[in-house]
Chains A and B, each alone.
Chain A
Amino acid sequence: MRCLEAGVLGALIAVGVGAAAAQAGVGAGVGAAGGVVVVTGVVLRFLRNRFRSWAYQERDEDLVVKRGVAFRRLSVVPYGRMQFVDVTAGPIERLFKLSTIKLHTAAAATDARIPGLERDEAARLRDQLASLGEAKAAGL
């Protein structure tokens, strides 16, 4: 899914740079083509790192979600504090049979989101989280 995102971004950049090159003249076009390759490479690398930084771990009492390259974030969400679990799938995600899971607690600052899960894994995780949340629910 991330690769696709990267592809789309790369194509957009290519179109942008290409348009700029066309305005600057054909001579500059060759240089611009090289630029496109480099920029696409950098973007791809950035997105790959970003994608690789996502990680989650189901522990006995809580769910741990890690993400980020420049800003590294780690969230620990106790199952008992979950208010509801969201499973969403955008058009691109649906194309690849993927889903995003998001956990909500009473605190707005909690940001436990796991994108790009296989649809079956997402369904399993959702059910698991929902039942754990119910079993360990704690009052506010």
Chain B
Amino acid sequence: MTTPPPRSPPWKRLHPLTPVVRAGRIVSVLVVAFVISNARGHADNTAGIYDLVVVVIVVAAGVVRWLVTKWTLDGATLRIETGLFRRDSRQLPLARIQAVDVVRPFLARVFGLSELRVRLAGSSSADGRLAYLSHHVATDLRARLLATHHGVDPDTPEPAEQTVATVPAGRLIGSVLLSGGITFVPSVIILLVLVRVSSTAAVVFGSVFATYLFGFVQGVWRRISSLYGFAVADAPDGIRIRRGLLGTVAETIPARRVQAVRLIEPFFWRLFHWCRLEVDVAGAAGREERSGRSATSTKALLPVGSHELARHLIAIVIGEPQPTTSPPPRRTRLKAPLSYHFLSAGHNDALVMAVTGRVRRTTTWVPMVKAQSIRRIQGPVQRRLGLATVHLDAAGRRVQAEFRDRSVDEADRLVDDLTSLSRAARKAEEVRRPLAAGTAAPAGWFADPSGRHQMRYWDGRVWTDHVRDQEMAGVDPL
């Protein structure tokens, strides 16, 4: 008698309309090309036949791909299998999720479909994409993935959220035009002057300007359409971001997956007291991916908004008291006369905060836990002045908080302090980190992992602040 194989959940397919949506883009391009060639009068049937052949091939490839792609949620792992000739089967451990996105391009939205993207840390080849699922399946799956990620019963419905910030359309358009207008307005003025002075120069400049204008309009359109209707919501399972005009994107960043937060204040925006907030999340996606190195993707947490709103969001995302910052010594003026007025930096036990910039001010926050390395750099000019710069690097290409141009003594002390503080933060995080779902012990009293008390309460997911020493109960945060 053979033992029955362990019951594995059934494999599921993507939505049957997937090939249509996938082919849709190419078809629309071909239709446009066909219309143009017809309008020009070269309406010979051969071109139309070629187009038809291409469409048939694309649709056939899409159908085959749809047939061979299957996915299933098996406990704490999402499995995706695809590929006809080269089988590609991916196992995505949900404990390592960095972000979950539901992306809906315009055409998919028309058919009520969505793409689900799961990002893990590491190279983008480790990402999982399910394109396309019907929208309710995608949102349901997202809720399950996040619930499993947090070690809760997967059938828990998506927890309620609280909208924290929205961006009015008028402000968004204004801000996009304003940041583009820095080059746009002078160009128009130059053009007008040239028209008065000499017509040939105006023609030359005008043609350059037209090219520029084309790019400008495209860029403005892309930013507005991708950020339109921007809304940030805070939910127990993470930060949720929704945006998009024609195609929409809904991103979820689980709590404590933020590598760094940046507050950017471009020059012209400061007139309106506006600022932009960006967060860096480990795990590359789409175009940001580069050469296999683990990259981060930058997400707008607030494309444009007031400082109070930004401060509120920062508190939610990093949730720590702000460190006090101090400016570098006055002699820094000699080395960095243009940026001295912005330079300042500081840290507390959990957070590093640094301000840099010449024309636009950039404030960066990096949690100590996320520090990847600490660097101290001293150039020849800095050595003359007795200064040095200390960097705290977080995961990503250029994600770092910079203590720029501090005095040498302070820099040396900083290197030691940051090293030990980040180590302590990592240790604390390790104790606190929830176990992968399925392996977690049931809730109860266990020996305190920090060693400070006899027992500490484990709620089935994380260590709580409740401790006990010989029947004396108390509260001591880890």
CB-based contact B372/A107 at 8 Å: yes
CB-based contact A107/B399 at 8 Å: yes
CB-based contact A71/B380 at 8 Å: yes
Query: Assuming the A-B contacts A61-B423, A138-B429, are A109 and B374 also in contact, with contact meaning beta carbons closer than 8 angstroms in the complex?
Result: no
Query: Assuming the A-B contacts A78-B373, A78-B423, are A106 and B395 also in contact, with contact meaning beta carbons closer than 8 angstroms in the complex?
Result: yes
CB-based contact B373/A107 at 8 Å: yes
Interface string of B72-99 (1 = CB under 8 A from A): 0000000000000000000000001010
CB-based contact A109/B415 at 8 Å: no
Nearest chain A CB to B169's CB is how many angstroms away? 36
Q: Which of B372-427 contact A (CB under 8 A)?
A: 372-380, 383, 391, 393-400, 415, 419, 422-423, 426
Interface size class on chain A is: 20 to 34
CB-based contact B121/A108 at 8 Å: no
Instruction: Say yes or no for A70: interface residue by CB 8 A criterion.
Output: yes
Q: Which residues of A contact B121 (CB under 8 A)?
A: 106, 140
- B interface, over-half SS: mixed
Q: Which residues of B contact A94 (CB under 8 A)?
A: none
Which of the listed residues A106, A109, A111 has the most CB atoms from chain B within 10 Å of its own CB? A106
Instruction: Say yes or no for A80: interface residue by CB 8 A criterion.
Output: yes
Q: Which residues of B contact A138 (CB under 8 A)?
A: 426, 429-430
Q: Which of B269-317 contact A (CB under 8 A)?
A: 282, 293-295
Which of A71, A77, A109 sits near B378, CB closer than 8 Å?
A: A71
Nearest chain B CB to A57's CB is how many angstroms away? 12
Which of the listed residues A75, A105, A139 has the most CB atoms from chain B within 10 Å of its own CB? A139
Which of A74, A80, A106 sits near B294, CB closer than 8 Å?
A: A106
Nearest chain A CB to B354's CB is how many angstroms away? 14
Instruction: Say yes or no for B433: interface residue by CB 8 A criterion.
Output: yes
Complex Cα–Cα for A31 and B396 (A): 53
Q: Which residues of B contact A139 (CB under 8 A)?
A: 96, 429, 433
Nearest chain A CB to B368's CB is how many angstroms away? 11
Nearest chain A CB to B162's CB is how many angstroms away? 27
CB-based contact B372/A75 at 8 Å: no
CB-based contact B378/A72 at 8 Å: yes
Q: Which residues of A contact B295 (CB under 8 A)?
A: 108
Query: Assuming the A-B contacts A62-B419, A108-B293, are A72 and B397 also in contact, with contact meaning beta carbons closer than 8 angstroms in the complex?
Result: no
Nearest chain B CB to A66's CB is how many angstroms away? 9
Q: Which A residue's beta carbon lies closest to that of B380? A: A70
Query: Assuming the A-B contacts A108-B398, A139-B433, A140-B98, are A77 and B373 also in contact, with contact meaning beta carbons closer than 8 angstroms in the complex?
Result: yes
Nearest chain B CB to A37's CB is how many angstroms away? 27
CB-based contact B383/A109 at 8 Å: no
Complex Cα–Cα for A46 and B375 (A): 24
Query: Assuming the A-B contacts A70-B380, A139-B429, are A109 and B398 also in contact, with contact meaning beta carbons closer than 8 angstroms in the complex?
Result: yes
Please give the residue numbers on chain B whose beta carbons come within 8 Å of chain A beta carbons, in ascending order. Answer: 96, 98, 121, 257, 259, 282, 293-295, 370-380, 383, 391, 393-400, 415, 419, 422-423, 426, 429-430, 433
Complex A-B: 17 CB contacts under 8 Å: A70-B380, A72-B376, A73-B375, A73-B376, A78-B373, A105-B372, A105-B373, A105-B393, A106-B395, A107-B394, A108-B295, A108-B396, A109-B393, A109-B399, A140-B121, A140-B282, A140-B370
| List of 8 A-B pairs having minimum Cβ-Cβ separation, nearest first | A106-B395, A107-B372, A107-B393, A110-B373, A105-B372, A76-B374, A74-B376, A140-B121
Q: Beyond the given A72-B383, A74-B375, A138-B426, please list 9 additional residue pairs across the A-B interface where CB-CB is below 8 A.
A: A74-B415, A78-B422, A106-B121, A107-B400, A108-B295, A108-B397, A109-B397, A110-B372, A110-B393
